[in-house]
Amino acid sequence: MNLQAVKQRFGIIGRSESLDRALNVAVRVAPTELTCLINGESGVGKEAFSKIIHELSKRKHNKFIAINTGALPSGTINSELFGHDKGAFTGATSDRKGYFETVDGGTIFLDEIGEMPLDTQAYLLRVLESGEFLRVGSSKVLKTDVRIVAASNVDLMEKIKNGKFREDLYYRLNTVPIHVPSLSERREDIYMLFRRFAIDFAEKYHTDSIQMDEHARLLFENYRWPGNIRELKNAVEQLSVLSENKMITAERLIDLKPNINKRNLPAKLRDTDGIGGGSNFAEREIIFKFLYEMKNDLSDLKSLVYELIRTNDLSVPDLNKIRQLSSTTDKLDHMYKTMDTRTPTVEPRPYFDEKDESRPIILDKHSANLYDESEVVEELLSLESMEKDMITKALKKYKSRRKDAAKELGISERTLYRKIKQYEIEK
């Protein structure tokens, strides 16, 4: 089954490479009996992946159950999972089958596996190794045939280091790891999810589907979405219900979801024109270009200093520190390796005088002529030319990979494609 068919069958929305990779692993591992560990942030849809694995497996006609192990009290979790005999503890008035007994032949999805108590982890490890378990209060060994798909939104290796998770259980569960990407890793899918949810809620509440203007969409796509798909879905439902005007503006979006304007993205737009005291997008592009050019100027300045030192046979007080500076560019590394660091035959002229910091660098007549002639080139200050120049440099840097170039420029891949067509930039 191809990925597009899987997406349509299970309602998976998105076209990002990271999402496709996760789906591909799930589809390939589903027909096997291997144990899977799904990791990803809260709200990314880990349970949906477990259902895909079950529905595409040989166990699809048997039971499937999803259990949030973090929500089960530590005092009753063993009874819930493995069952108990009558009289095993106060309140155990009869025998009770646990999930591993009732779902025999099916699939059990254990969410938030990192919150499972250590003693329960030992029982689970035995089930994974031999298929055997004991009811609470019983000495009779029972057998079960279940496939376990586990999930975690925390770093299990960190829990292992802190002694809160068994290392042997981790490696038994992590036979096939599946990483479900967060929305921050698949920003190109955010607007697609918005449109899907907007249509769904329009049908649910018998109203017109909401839409977004360009500035609102920019805010929406660049928000961090810590709650991922769950948070995004709730936000779309809120907008669908509370907005009388179905065209959502940036002002309305911020009014209904104030924190959507707060994020830590250095090259992205933090607010729209006239909102929250922010400057407009064109000004931010100028700043970005200025910083980009400043980086190049700094490299050129370092090169000039090295040339002065080499040409004038100047002494260097600490070559190790200068070497650290030169490691930023291959050009400076090459200059450093070709420097003559031998002790000069004549008394050196220090380029820095502790007693007189204003003392200039003295050049000999030969080297002075190297810097006499210069030409002042008037730089084009057109915003369009700056934007075209930035896009051209980004495409050249990433060898025409639009996705990487768009990420570097802080714009969407769709916007970059439109700009390339607008300025007729050759790839």
Instruction: Please give the full DSSP string across 58-81, using - where no structure is assigned.
Output: TTTTS-EEEEEGGGS-TTTHHHHH
- Residue 400: the pLDDT is 84
Q: Which two tokens stand for residue 29?
A: 């591992």
Cα–Cα distance measured from residue 286 to residue 292, given in angstroms and rounded to the nearest whole number: 10
- Which region, left, alpha or beta, applies to residue 43 given φ > 0 means left and ψ of -120 to 50 means alpha? left
For residue 84, the 8-state DSSP code is B
**CA distance to 299, 323, 350, 351, per residue, from 361 (Å):** 20, 20, 8, 6
Give the residue ranges of the chain where pLDDT is below 50. Answer: 264-280, 282, 322, 326-329, 332, 336, 340-368, 370-379
Cα–Cα distance measured from residue 185 to residue 31, given in angstroms and rounded to the nearest whole number: 28
For residue 107, the 8-state DSSP code is E
Q: Which two tokens stand for residue 190?
A: 């955010």
- Residue 351: the pLDDT is 43
Asked if residue 1 lies in contact with residue 27, where contact means CB atoms within 8 angstroms, the answer is yes
For residue 36, the 8-state DSSP code is E
- Residue 372: the pLDDT is 46
Question: How are strands ordered across the β-sheet holding 107-111?
Answer: 64-68, 107-111, 147-152, 36-39, 176-179
Q: Which CATH class is domain 383-423?
A: mainly alpha
Q: Where are the domains of the chain?
A: 3-181, 187-278, 283-371, 383-423
Which CATH number applies to 3-181: 3.30.565.10, 3.40.50.300, 3.90.226.10, 3.30.500.10? 3.40.50.300
CA atoms within a 13 Å half-sphere pointing along the CA-CB vector of 361:
17
**CA distance to 56, 236, 377, 407, per residue, from 190 (Å):** 27, 11, 44, 15
Three-state secondary structure call for residue 229: helix
In one-letter notation, the amino acid at residue 129 is E
- Residue 355: the pLDDT is 45
Give the pTM: 0.62
The CATH code of the domain at 187-278 is: 1.10.8.60
- Residue 268: the pLDDT is 41
Strands 141-143 and 132-134, by their bridges, are antiparallel
In one-letter notation, the amino acid at residue 369 is N
